[in-house]
Amino acid sequence: MKKKAILYLTMALCVGMAGCGQKEKLKADKAFEKEFKEVSVHDPSVVQGDDGSYYIFGSHLAVAKTDDFMNWEYVNQGVKNDNSVIPDVYLNMKEAFEWSHSNTFWAPDVAKLADGKFHLYYCNCQGDAPVSCLGTAVSDTVAGPYINEGLMLKSGMGAEEKDEDGNLYQATTDPNTVDPCTFYDAEGKLWMVYGSYSGGIFIKEMNPETGLPLETGYGKKLLGGNHLRIEAPYIIYNEETGYYYMFLSFGGLDSTGGYNIRVCRSENPDGPYVDSMGQEMEDCKGAAGTSFSDATAALYGTKLMGGYKFLWKEGEEGEEREGYLSPGHNSCIYQEETDRYFIIYHTRFENRGEEHEVRVHQMFFNEDGWPVIAPYRYTEESLKEYTKEELAGNYKFINHGREISADMAESDEIQLCTDGKIKGAAEGTWNLKKDCKIELELDGKSYKGVYLKQWDEDGKKYVMTFTALCSETGVSVWGSGLNAIEE
C-alpha cells in the first residue's frame, strides 16, 4: 500500500552531407522571429468561447485563453474564494472537497452543450489513494461564474461502503473518478470518458441536453486495470476518416515519470478501441496481483510523442536549449474555418524541475488515418507542396520509440538524398505523395505522414520538417531540417 500511496502522490504533482537541395543558410532573418506568451496550466482541456477565443481549463482551477494558440493570458490562477470562475468555491464545492479530503481540483473538462450553456466537469482526488469525485457546474459564459450542480460519481469508498449500484468498491477494477472528457458522437449522442490508474478508463452515455448521466454506475470499461499508469482519456471524432480517436497519457506526470501521449481508435464512440498494431485496448490491463506495470502498458497504444530534444549543431543559434520532458494530458480541437487540428498539452523541461508550460502543435492524419503531430509548436504554418529537391537535405531525426521512460529521445542526423535514399543514423528510402504526404521506409518498415515548413524556436529559423508513423509498430518519427529556408 505504501508503494501505491507514493505513486498516487506522484500523480498529484502539478508544479514548461552532399547531394541535397536545401540552401546552406543557417540563420533566419530576425524579422521573421516568432514570439510566445506562456502560461502554466496543467492538464489543459480546450473549448471555444462565444467570443471566439479559445480557453483551456486545468488542474487547480488554472484557466487561460488565446486567440492564436501562441500568446496566452490567464483568466484565473489557483483555487481561492475570490476567483471569478467559481465564486465562493470552498463553500459552493464543499461536498467535493469533503469527500476527496482535498482542497483543490484536478483535471477538468468544459463543453458547450445543446442547451447553449457551458458545462464544467470538475473532479477532486485525495491523491495518495483513488478517493475521488466528479461533478458538474454550469455557466452562461465560458469564463464563468459557474453554478454547482453537484456530484455524479464517487470512488474510493471504504470497505463497508457500497456504491450507488450496491457494490463494494474495488480499486483494481473500478475507476478513479477523475479526468473527464465529454464529446458528441456523429449521431448527436453525448458521452463522457474518464479514469486514471486504478481500474482503468471508463465511458458513460450522457443526456445531450443536460449533460448529466443517463444511467447510474460507472459505465463501460474501455481499458486498464490493476493500477496501470494510464490516464487523461480524450476522444475526438474525425468525420473524414470515420473514426473516434482516444488519446491517452501513459507513465507518470512528473519530470522523471516518462509521461507520453498515445492513441487508439474505434468506429464506435464506446469502442472497442484498437491501436495501429491491431491490438484491442480492452486487453491492456495489468496481470492479477500486479500494480503499475509499465512493461505491460508499453505494449499497447500507438505512441505519438514522449520526451525529446533536438540537439544543437555547431553554427546554429540556441546552443543552450532545453529538452521536453513528460509531455502529456492533452486535449484536441478541430478548427473548421482553417481545416486544422490542434493538440494542446502540458510539458516539463530539462533542468527546470517540475515547472510546466502549455504547448500547442498542429496535428494531421496520415494515409492510414492515424494522427501525427508536427515536430514544432504552432506558429500559423500551413501545408504547402514542395518538390523532392526542395525537401532533400540533412535532418535532425527523432525516433519516439515505444518505451515509458524518463529518458529523452535525442536527435540523430540523417540525410534525405535527391535519389530517394536515406543515409546516416537511419537508412532506407523516402518518397513524396500528393497533399504534402511523405513515406519513409526504415529498416523495412513503412512510416507515413506529412511534411511542412515550421519555425524552429531554438534555432531561430524556418526549417523543413516531417512527422510520420509506422502503423505496424506504433512508433512515430520526426525530422527537422538542419539548414534554414526562406520564410
Examine the fold and report which residue of 309, 342, 369 is the final residue of a domain before the chain moves on.
Answer: 369
Residues 360 and 395 in one domain: no
The answer to whether residue 32 sits within a structural domain is no
The answer to whether residue 292 sits within a structural domain is yes
Helix (H) or strand (E) holding 119: strand 118-125
For residue 103, what is its C-alpha cell? 482542497
Residues 363 and 442 in one domain: no
The answer to whether residue 59 sits within a structural domain is yes
Residues 418 and 341 in one domain: no
Residue 10's SS3 state is helix
Number of domains in the chain: 2
Which residues, at least 6 apart from 295, have a Cβ–Cβ distance to it below 8 Å? none
Residues 430 and 352 in one domain: no
Residues 58 and 176 in one domain: yes
DSSP 8-state symbol, 59: G
- Structural domain for 446, as ranges: 388-481
- What CA–CA distance (Å, rounded) separates 254 from 325? 8
Residues 331 and 393 in one domain: no
The answer to whether residue 375 sits within a structural domain is no
Q: Which residues of the chain have pLDDT under 70?
A: 1-32, 159-160, 163-165
Confidence (pLDDT) at 26:
40
Residue type, 402: R
Question: What CATH number should be reported for the domain holding residue 394?
Answer: 2.40.128.10
Residues 358 and 393 in one domain: no
Residues 361 and 409 in one domain: no
Inter-residue contact 173 to 201 (CB < 8 Å): no
CA 276 to chain centre: 17
For residue 41, what is its C-alpha cell? 496550466
The answer to whether residue 455 sits within a structural domain is yes
Examine the fold and report which residue of 369, 399, 422 is the final residue of a domain before the chain moves on.
Answer: 369
Residues 197 and 262 in one domain: yes
Residues 333 and 395 in one domain: no
Beta pairing partners, 220: 203
Residues 362 and 399 in one domain: no
How would DSSP label each residue in 341-404? EEEEEEEEETTSTT-EEEEEEEEEE-TTS-EEE-SS--SS-------HHHH-EEEEEEE--S--
- What CA–CA distance (Å, rounded) separates 52 from 112? 13
- What CA–CA distance (Å, rounded) separates 308 from 402? 13
Beta pairing partners, 361: 343
Question: What CATH number should be reported for the domain holding residue 353?
Answer: 2.115.10.20
The answer to whether residue 383 sits within a structural domain is no
The answer to whether residue 345 sits within a structural domain is yes
Catalytic residue numbers read: 43, 231
- What CA–CA distance (Å, rounded) separates 149 from 287? 38
Examine the fold and report which residue of 315, 342, 369 is the final residue of a domain before the chain moves on.
Answer: 369
The answer to whether residue 379 sits within a structural domain is no
CA 1 to chain centre: 29
Confidence (pLDDT) at 159:
62
Residues 335 and 275 in one domain: yes
Which residues, at least 6 apart from 116, have a Cβ–Cβ distance to it below 8 Å? none
Residue type, 108: P
Beta pairing partners, 334: 341
